[in-house]
Amino acid sequence: MQGKLLKILFALILTAGLALPVQAEDPIRIGWTAWSDAEFITKLTAQVIEDRMGREVELIQTDIAPQYQGLASGDIDMMMMAWLPGTHEDYMEAVGADIVSLGILYGYARLGWAVPTYIPEDQLSSIEDLKDDAVRGQLNGTITGIDPGAGLTRLSEQAIEDYDLDGYQLQISSGAGMTAALARAVRRDEWIVVTGWSPHWKFGAHELRYLEDPQGTLGSFERVHAMSRQGFYQDNPDVALMVSRIHLDLEELQDAMFYAQENSYEEAVTRFINDHGELVDYWVTGSLN
């Protein structure tokens, strides 16, 4: 009798357990900054995770410095925009031991100061040329920059010091503010120097060239990594492995970013996924077939 009661009790406990609701998985929290390449790659990754892996994604827009801190503290799971080894060197020195690289998203990225090609090269081809009084006058002593927390901003401030560009100020703005100032200058055929990086859609919208940087203050080619918090791979191995397989051709990425500016990032993501079905399949499954 006692054995039968135990069996009945066990069956009731098991049945009650099966009747409990299944615990939903937490959303994947991805940090991103309002830079064109960051917005495209982040929204592309989020779309693949949601549509192909059935996971909810929460996008958290903030500056780049809080993203590194968020990864280190575990408040966000991933970010898709670590410029290494130079641009984000200071952030990596601060929290690099507490975060994990999931892989390189694209290479041959670079930073620099860019000008419209209608500015004569024999007058302005190098950062050194900015010392000329006539050039300084044409530019009103202004280098048009982006976010105060960006690595490019830190390096640009260093360039002004390294090249002894007395009489110049770095105009702090944002990515959108910089491109708006550039577009306005191009419409008026005015001189302008903007802090720039590749990939970026502005190279599709305008004819631009980088100024030579003989001292190398703004660095050389960079690689862009996806980064995660500690333990993310262990908690989400399928998602982490999918992200580790993402790699984009720089020209295709720049084309997608330009398309996003002409339409929307959501349309650009959908277009890219439709045009690169086999590639996206490989990211998700790891299979080349």
H or E stretch covering 85: none
Same domain, 117 and 178: yes
At 214-253, the pLDDT tens digits run 999 998 899 999 999 999 999 999 999 999 999 999 989 9
The percent helix, strand, coil of the chain (3-state, each to 5) is: 50, 20, 30
What percent of the chain lies above the pLDDT cut of 70? Answer: 91
The reply to whether 5 falls in a domain is no
The reply to whether 13 falls in a domain is no
Split at pLDDT 50, 70, 90, the class of 38 is very high
How many domains are there within the chain?
2
Same domain, 87 and 175: no
End-of-domain residue from the set 210, 236, 271: 210
At 139-155, the pLDDT tens digits run 999 999 999 988 899 99
Statement: residue 18 has pLDDT above 90: no
* CB-CB contact of 81 with 151 (8 Å): no
Owning domain of residue 125: 111-210
Same domain, 253 and 225: yes
The reply to whether 11 falls in a domain is no
Please report, for the domain that includes residue 200, its CATH number. 3.40.190.100
H or E stretch covering 238: helix 237-244
Same domain, 115 and 206: yes
Please report, for the domain that includes residue 57, its CATH number. 3.40.190.10
* CB-CB contact of 113 with 159 (8 Å): yes
In whole angstroms, give the CA distance from residue 131 to residue 22. 67
Average pLDDT over residues 82-93: 93
In whole angstroms, give the CA distance from residue 49 to residue 43. 10
Same domain, 234 and 146: no
